Chains A and B, each alone.
Chain A
């Protein structure tokens, strides 16, 4: 188990380094001068040149890459061109919105999907199963931003139960903060729940056809116990895979959802930073997202090994 984990960690580090080079290189060759963007079309050339110098954009590319990577390793992500505050502070402020949002959505989608998947698998071929499958098909087909707008019209405008968007900050009280996150979390969670429910159902159906299930049934174990004790645990591998992938999707999905709900999250920060050519912020946010996805996948790999001891030897 230990050497398995170590091998995985080496892969994680190499992936991150490669990602940082690609992200940096791609963004630096994208056209657009951050200084000109900030000063606009009436600015004189010497004012733009003065700003470029202030931003350190007159330094050579390679030097800037190593300054950036070196700083990141020591926890200094540099200063935002546009906001002129440390990038690490910006990211920290945004993470306290995006991370709870993604986790809420993940929890919601799991809490909905697994019982639904089990319910459907246990009643394979019945009208209830067909109904649930049709509903999940719809859930996958509906784009989450459209669903978000629908939620806003019902719960914020018609019923006035929650605000239509924005985030009051955790200091405004946990109740208010959660009220601001609940609609975005639902909008993010439902399409994911639909996918997860289908995966849970089909994984369970695969397992339910296995010999050991027949044996368990033959020895007289009640159907509910067969499902919970023998089938579900063995069906978890594909479900875990999808969960790991979904976390990446949820983080990416926040870019759209955070715009619809004007939440000050990481996705919106990245989006704004791209349009404003705040390269250092984009680079840091993207590398952070890559790191999150890589680390989540690493944890999923470890979870596989926990769920299936055979994998540890590979």
Chain B
């Protein structure tokens, strides 16, 4: 009898133990991204998929960009800027170690900055470092960076994935085996299939809730939908199939969060080529575009109309959609004034993403209404970069410019828009030399207005971030002010 009771009690205790452990929150996560990165070194490639995995999870910079786009301290716990805006002194966190056990010191920061701006550097955003004249270690935890000219965006630039701090010991092998300072350590990359990270037990900052994270690479929109529905993955932070979102919105198992990105989707126009060099022709194109119809058709209603090259969630954004409102009659009148009463023929080169291919069909239909007859030419990415971007061999194309705060490209003389405006360049030069935030916002507003009035490109919509994940999962970013899947705050609620 006694033995029976004790067996019963032991059983009850076991059952209790099992139920309580079943109630402990999950600590693993499998999420998916659409494209597989070519490698895992964010300082040597432009692929957004690299930052999707490593930025702020494995690698960290002096500063970081927060979920709302603000510049926050990261490896540098504080900094000071000289009055002339030329000297930045960063104070590093004490006790930071890389995943291979070596400790972070000022020498690593100097190494990383020098490496990124060296002659043989293959950093995809080398321009971020162009203002740096020298970087030196004052002591183990203090770095002094001297600029050759004031650069108002310098702290922001240092928060990009391309500006993360790497160690000289591991810099050359980061492509295959990334070694950083972040809350997660790299475990394994099964090429073509998945990448796995695990919690860094020696992390210098606030410990993370997840023990193990697996990234799957799923490019096919139908497969992405199926993987979520089957429960193979628990999150798709940038879901590639807007057509399937409605099906998740009605399902209580999932959270659907529609946010914004830094992707200005535009009808890029070759301003250096006839007839697009004529402002009236560009204005006519702008008047012929019905943005909402494009958003509905290409993105199934997801996306915010824009009237300039700037993200609507940015505090300096100006609403300029009504600069040239949809008005086919006015468009035809402008074409006639420009000497094309019967319209003209041109080409529209479309890269592979669905927003471009689907959007292109609608843009072509809308321009045909006013007499502009577009021949659609689908191109691959590599062809697009070669023909459109490098050789400027195009009339019109549709592309999303996903780099954050990239309005400065309109000041580049050799850029593929072939747009040249002294007024714009002057505003940009002034912006570069300005650190005061209110003054910067004012200059950014002026810049947005100049390119909107010049109708440099057809401004269509801001690319949305379609986030779909398990309803019990919290802490993923809603917006995408910078390419990242920051997992430091992600946790399960049950």
Partner-B contacts on A (CB < 8 A): 30-34, 36-44, 46-47, 50-51, 54, 82-85, 90, 93-94, 149, 152-153, 156-157, 160, 163-167, 169, 259-265, 268-269, 272, 274-278
Identify which of B18-26, B211-219, B259-267 touches chain A.
B211-219
Closest CB in chain A relative to B321 CB, distance in Å: 25
B191 at the interface (CB under 8 A from A): yes
Size of the chain B interface, CB-CB below 8 angstroms: 49
Give Cα A32–Cα B385 distance, bound, in whole angstroms: 7
Tell me whether A39 and B46 are in contact in the complex, defined as CB-CB below 8 angstroms, given that A84-B175, A166-B232 are known contacts. Answer: yes
B383 at the interface (CB under 8 A from A): yes
Q: 18 additional contacts, CB 8 Å, given A164-B227, A269-B192? A: A33-B382, A38-B38, A41-B389, A43-B126, A47-B122, A50-B122, A51-B122, A83-B38, A152-B226, A157-B226, A157-B230, A160-B230, A164-B232, A165-B223, A262-B193, A265-B192, A275-B352, A278-B38
Q: Which of B39, B191, B223 contacts A164 (CB 8 A)?
A: B223
Q: Chain B residue with minimal CB distance to A44? A: B126
Q: Chain B residue with minimal CB distance to A146? A: B222
B411-467 interface (Cβ within 8 A of A): none
Verify A40–B46 contact, CB threshold 8 A. Answer: yes
Give the tally of cross-chain contacts (CB within 8 A). Answer: 152
Residues of chain A contacted by B39 (CB below 8 angstroms): 82-84
Give Cα A82–Cα B381 distance, bound, in whole angstroms: 15
Verify B230–A31 contact, CB threshold 8 A. Answer: no
Verify B385–A268 contact, CB threshold 8 A. Answer: no
Give Cα A195–Cα B43 distance, bound, in whole angstroms: 51
Q: Which of B45, B125, B126, B218 contacts A262 (CB 8 A)?
A: B218
Closest CB in chain A relative to B29 CB, distance in Å: 15
Closest CB in chain A relative to B353 CB, distance in Å: 12
Residues of chain A contacted by B403 (CB below 8 angstroms): 42
Residues of chain A contacted by B385 (CB below 8 angstroms): 32-33, 36-37, 41
Verify A261–B38 contact, CB threshold 8 A. Answer: no
Residues of chain A contacted by B45 (CB below 8 angstroms): 38-40
B1 at the interface (CB under 8 A from A): no
Verify B381–A275 contact, CB threshold 8 A. Answer: yes
Tell me whether A156 and B175 are in contact in the complex, defined as CB-CB below 8 angstroms, given that A38-B47, A164-B223 are known contacts. Answer: no
B246 at the interface (CB under 8 A from A): no
Verify A262–B220 contact, CB threshold 8 A. Answer: yes
B336 at the interface (CB under 8 A from A): no
Tell me whether A164 and B226 are in contact in the complex, defined as CB-CB below 8 angstroms, given that A38-B46, A82-B38, A264-B192 are known contacts. Answer: yes
Give Cα A89–Cα B127 distance, bound, in whole angstroms: 35
22 pairs from A and B in contact (CB 8 Å cutoff): A31-B386, A32-B380, A32-B381, A33-B382, A36-B389, A42-B127, A42-B409, A43-B46, A43-B125, A44-B126, A44-B127, A46-B119, A47-B121, A93-B190, A149-B222, A157-B229, A164-B226, A165-B232, A166-B194, A166-B232, A269-B192, A275-B381
Residues of chain A contacted by B119 (CB below 8 angstroms): 46, 50
Verify A260–B191 contact, CB threshold 8 A. Answer: no
B222-274 interface (Cβ within 8 A of A): 222-223, 226-227, 229-232
B123 at the interface (CB under 8 A from A): yes
Give Cα A272–Cα B35 distance, bound, in whole angstroms: 9
Q: Chain A residue with minimal CB distance to B409? A: A42
Verify B190–A163 contact, CB threshold 8 A. Answer: no
B124 at the interface (CB under 8 A from A): yes
Residues of chain A contacted by B230 (CB below 8 angstroms): 152, 156-157, 160, 163-164
Residues of chain A contacted by B105 (CB below 8 angstroms): none
Give Cα A180–Cα B227 distance, bound, in whole angstroms: 13
Give Cα A34–Cα B383 distance, bound, in whole angstroms: 10
Tell me whether A149 and B226 are in contact in the complex, defined as CB-CB below 8 angstroms, given that A38-B45, A43-B46 are known contacts. Answer: yes
Closest CB in chain A relative to B170 CB, distance in Å: 15
Q: Chain A residue with minimal CB distance to B387? A: A31
Residues of chain B contacted by A83 (CB below 8 angstroms): 38-39, 191
B395 at the interface (CB under 8 A from A): no
